[in-house]
Structure 1
Amino acid sequence: MIRLTLSEIADRLSGVLHLEGTDATPGTTVDGPVETDSREIVPGGIFVAKRGDDTDGHLFVGAAVERGAALAIVEHPVSDSIAQILVPDAVVALGELARFVVERVRASGDLTVIGITGSNGKTTTKNMLERILSGEDETVAPIRSFNNAVGAPTTMLRISESTRYLIVEMGASGIGHISKLVAMAKPDIGVVLKVGLAHAGGFGGIESTLQAKTEMVKDLDENAVAILNADDSRVASMAEKTRARVVMFGQEDTASVRATDVAGTRTGTSFTAHVPGEEPVRITLRVLGEHHVSNALAAIAAASTLGVPLARSARALETLERAERWRMEVLGGKDDVTIINDAYNASPDSMSAAIKTLAQISEPGKRTIAVLGAMSELGEFAGDEHDRIGLQLVRLNISRLVVVGPEARRMHISAINEGSWDGESVYFGDMDAAYDYLAAEIIPGDTVLVKSSNSAGLRFLGDRLGALYSW
């Protein structure tokens, strides 16, 4: 974090500064990393004692002190000997501190903020854009999928006076969440990838999801840029709801940043990228899946808006070895067995895209195996969406289906009821049983997709299979 005095922070947070039992004064400065997990504190760090569903951060202030914390932001005084700022709500205070730091750096430096949202693809697009921009100038981007009311401001607080680009993932599980993050960061560029049924149980349906994702662009000012997916009609409609200049990306002819001649294999995905005023460039991503072409186009569009030539963006993208841990991560290789571990997250759209990729990259005469777990947070839509995936697997001629866990069993039943399979779909209640089956079932040349929501835990099954077939 940038250097601030304790009194500056307390004033901005409308908090009460407690310095009893410490050597600190209101003029004492702090500039260490801001954390909500005491285990991540480093000497000079700032600990935000937020309350959680399972525990209370105030119980860990002592642990933060032991690790060298210089300041604690708390909702009630604690007995530990550390400078404290007392606030009504620690999470709200974290957001306000992030807003303060972004404002300060923007006023004194040359900071550009890029916000990214969408039902799918945020983390992959963030990683792609970070890879491009970090080769241009100092860039700060989220760790993993830090995109909520805690993760996003924590990312913002990592900037310094010399940061040129700040990339912020903006996730939401309800109306108004993205608006709050936009108000904190005030993006110069707002990227919207897709409107789908991820977290539909919290939103209450696709129209509510559209409303929430539109929050990314509706408050941008006229000097900002809204980068929108031309291939998603709901996202494209946001052009009418923003004052910002609009740049469209996609494979549709209406997109100014376009991809043509898309081709996928087990080793990557290729396409020709087109940007107005530049020569087309053929790009080969190491990341699997045609759906990641859309993410790459979004990153290219943002970078182009910032003046990065297409050729440089292309070179940077081709160095990205994987989207993220457990996201279309290619493992294995022994006996020509490919394990695709994509079990960090799953929505109906991302599940469908992963299955299409599995079908597209299979080689003639070789088998495809889909190992699938539940898609979480779908609420009333869960049954129908699991049914739809089961039908899709049959219609795409996936060779084997292995369904794991009771919440995903409807995929197995739907595949069987489709009527064209006889024994190609199996169900297991737990991962160990599924692993034992797969260890005996997989043969040389197989391509195996492991896909589920994070809560289903199949990423660990994917890792076990990857280790089994690693060289």
Structure 2
Amino acid sequence: MRTMDAATLAEWAGGELQGDPQAQVGPDVVIDARKATEGSVFVAIPGERVDGHDFTGQAQAAGAAAVIGTRQTEAELAHVVVEESVAALSRLARQVVAREQQRGLVSLAVTGSSGKTSTKDLLAQLLEADGPTVSPVGSFNNEIGVPLTACSIDAETRYLVSEMGARGLGHVAWLCSLMAPSVSLVLNVGTAHLGEFGSREAIAQAKGEIIESLPADGWAVLNADDPLVAGMAPRTSARLAWWSRTNWSTQLGERPAGDLFVSASQVQVNALEQYGFVLEVERDGQQVSLPVQLQQLGSHQVSNALAAAAGAIAAGCSPEQVASSLSTATARSPWRMEMSVREDGAAVLNDAYNANPGSMLEAINTLGRIARARRDEDSSSRSFAVLGDMLELGDDADELHRELGRLAVRNRVDEVVAVGSFAERIVEGARQAGGSARVAERDEVAGSLTLGRADVVLVKASRGLALETVAAALLAGKSGVQR
């Protein structure tokens, strides 16, 4: 945010100032005292394990000039005392965004059951080619992450990109009230968080809130291939932008009405699972076709790229610049389809950040294609899938985990190693399909695998299982004896 006086900070955060009203604070806003900088505002948030108020002295020592909290502390800083710290952070973010939108800031929001973070990272890189852009690293998509990211914008920021998760009805609408997006992207409606919502239709209702807040001159960027997403169109008066991997003219007939349509033709893949295609952009009766070669791995990245392209073009970027930037964009957030090759040749595909049925399907299919390419080059190549729980799936969890095992066997995975509460179900599915599978404790996985020079391992589970530790151990060579 821009530097301001403490009186304005108190007004915007909705609190009572205790300290010098003329004290200059900002530009940084932090919730971790270790990240405090000169002049920064430290938001003290009480937690289950630690209370941010206990670290105001550390924030002061690092240079902080003010603290937003629920009580006065011993730190010699300007204090803005509020009833609830997170709510105050939200109020501050709303004011920061509103001021910058008055001078032309464009706010974009992304939601979906899967692919949010990867698409957000792609979208940010496309926008950066056109102007200064603020976007969170990782999945900073909740009631703390979204406003904290918003407070990072300043007078020079042209684009703000927000990723929005949903834990219930009204959550996305609340986040939109902070960001006031003029371009909103809905990627898909899957089964992630099915246990919380009860049905995909309920998930669609929650995700669709992201387009209901759009102004009439805004853009709703929708997935034409997902019926539940396409069905959201009547919920907004904004202009419609569509993206699709499907050739509507030959496969689906008349495409949905809208002002912008982005699709892919001539899709190809190389041995590293990197996809290339021709980006097709149709707007105002004009069509342009541009080559794209993605750097990220996996078929799902084509969909992510099309969604990001549609969002960036709707925001004002040229199709030519978008195609060029897509071809140079890299993965920014960790543990998402990260392919690393050890010195001995063994490869580890680390997709351990999170998991749901849709992303598991893409990851295991990607593993299968990489393994086939490696076998073509070296007949000794084997593939392994270290799979952990997919959380919050509700009553269908057992069968969905069995399907993981069956899916791995269909992709000719040589061995499935299952971790977590649903490990037995994964193993059941794999053995039902005639494959080899076993249950293991997380910290024992790496040592139990014997990797050869051409082998490839996928590591994937929901965030709670922290399987990135398995990937790190494998990359460090902490596996069985080499053959």
TM-score tier after normalising by the smaller chain length: over 0.9
Equivalent pair of 2:38/2:64 in contact (CA under 8 Å)? yes
What CA distance in whole angstroms lies between the structure 1 residues aligned with 2:347 and 2:322?
29
Q: Note the C-alpha offset of 1:238.
A: 0.8
Counterpart of 2:74 in structure 1 is: 79
- Which of the residues 290, 295, 304 maps onto 1:286? 295
Q: Look up the match of 2:445.
A: 434
Matched residues in 1 for 2:412 and 2:461: separation? 20
SS state of the match for residue 331, structure 1? Answer: strand
Runs (5+) with no aligned partner, structure 1: 20-24
SS in 2 for 1:158: coil
- TM norm structure 1: 0.92
Q: Is the 8 A contact 1:339 1:466 kept in 2?
A: yes
Matched, 1:68 2:63: yes
Q: Quick one: which of 212, 220, 224 aligns to 1:218?
A: 212
Match of 1:258 in 2: 263
The 5-angstrom pairing of residues 292-303 of structure 1 reads 292-303=301-312
> Alpha-carbon deviation of 1:429?
2.0
Contact 1:287 1:323 in 2 (8 A): no
Match of 2:415 among 400, 423, 426: 400
Q: Deviations over 1:70-97 (max 9, x none)?
A: 1111112223221111111110110110
The question of 1:269 aligning with 2:275 is answered yes
Amino acid at match of 2:447: D
Q: Residues of 1 paired with 2:11 and 2:291: CA distance?
A: 53
Aligned length: 458
Matches of residues 96-175 of structure 1 in structure 2 within 5 Å? Answer: 96-107=91-102, 109-175=103-169
Q: Which runs of 4+ in 1 moved over 6 A?
A: none
- Work out whether residues 374 and 456 of structure 1, in 8 Å CA contact, stay in contact via their aligned partners in 2: yes
Structure-1 residue corresponding to 2:399 = 384
Displacement, 1:101?
A: 0.5
The residue that corresponds to 2:47 in the other structure is: 52
User: In the alignment, does 2:441 pair up with 1:425?
Assistant: no
Partner of 2:297, secondary structure, is: coil
Conserved in 2, the CA contact under 8 Å of 1:333 and 1:469? no
Q: CA deviation at 1:278?
A: 4.2
SS state at 1:8 partner: helix
- Aligned-partner SS, 1:282: strand
> What secondary structure, in the 3-state scheme, does the structure 2 residue paired with 1:243 have?
coil
Please state whether the residue corresponding to 1:468 is helix, strand or coil: coil
Q: 1:270 deviation in Å? A: 1.7
Percentage identity across paired residues of the two chains: 37
Which residue identity does 2:407 align to in structure 1? Q
Q: Which deviates further from its counterpart, 237-246 or 401-410?
A: 401-410
Between the aligned partners of 2:40 and 2:392, the Cα distance in structure 1 is 35
CA distance in 1, matches of 2:39, 2:81: 19
Secondary structure in 1 matching 2:288: coil
2:447/2:478 contact within 8 Å kept: no
- Secondary structure of residue in 1 paired with 2:107: strand
User: 1:194-238 CA deviation, whole Å, 9 max, x = no partner?
Assistant: 111222333333222111101101121211100011121111111
Give the secondary structure class of the aligned counterpart of 1:100: helix
Q: Distance in 1 between matches of 2:188 and 2:113?
A: 5
Match of 1:37? 32
1:204-353 aligned at under 5 Å gives the runs 204-252=198-246, 253=248, 254=255, 256-264=261-269, 265-276=271-282, 277-322=286-331, 324-332=333-341, 334-353=343-362
Instruction: Give the secondary-structure state (helix, strand or coil) at the position aligned to 2:67.
Output: strand
Aligned twin of 1:22: none
The answer on whether the counterparts of 2:69 and 2:81 sit within 8 Å (CA) in structure 1 is yes
Bigger CA drift: 161-170 or 366-375?
A: 366-375
Which secondary structure state, in structure 2, belongs to the residue aligned with residue 55 of structure 1?
Answer: coil
Residues 203 and 4 of structure 1, relative CA distance in 2, 3 Å threshold: farther
The one-letter code sitting in structure 1 at the alignment partner of 2:387 is: L
Give how far 1:335 is off.
4.7
Residue 463 of structure 1 is aligned with which of 456, 460, 472? Answer: 472
Partner of 1:12: 12
Task: Please list the CA deviations of residues 357-401 of structure 1 after superposition, one character each: whole Å capped at 9, or x if unmatched.
Answer: 122333245433211111123343322221221222223332321
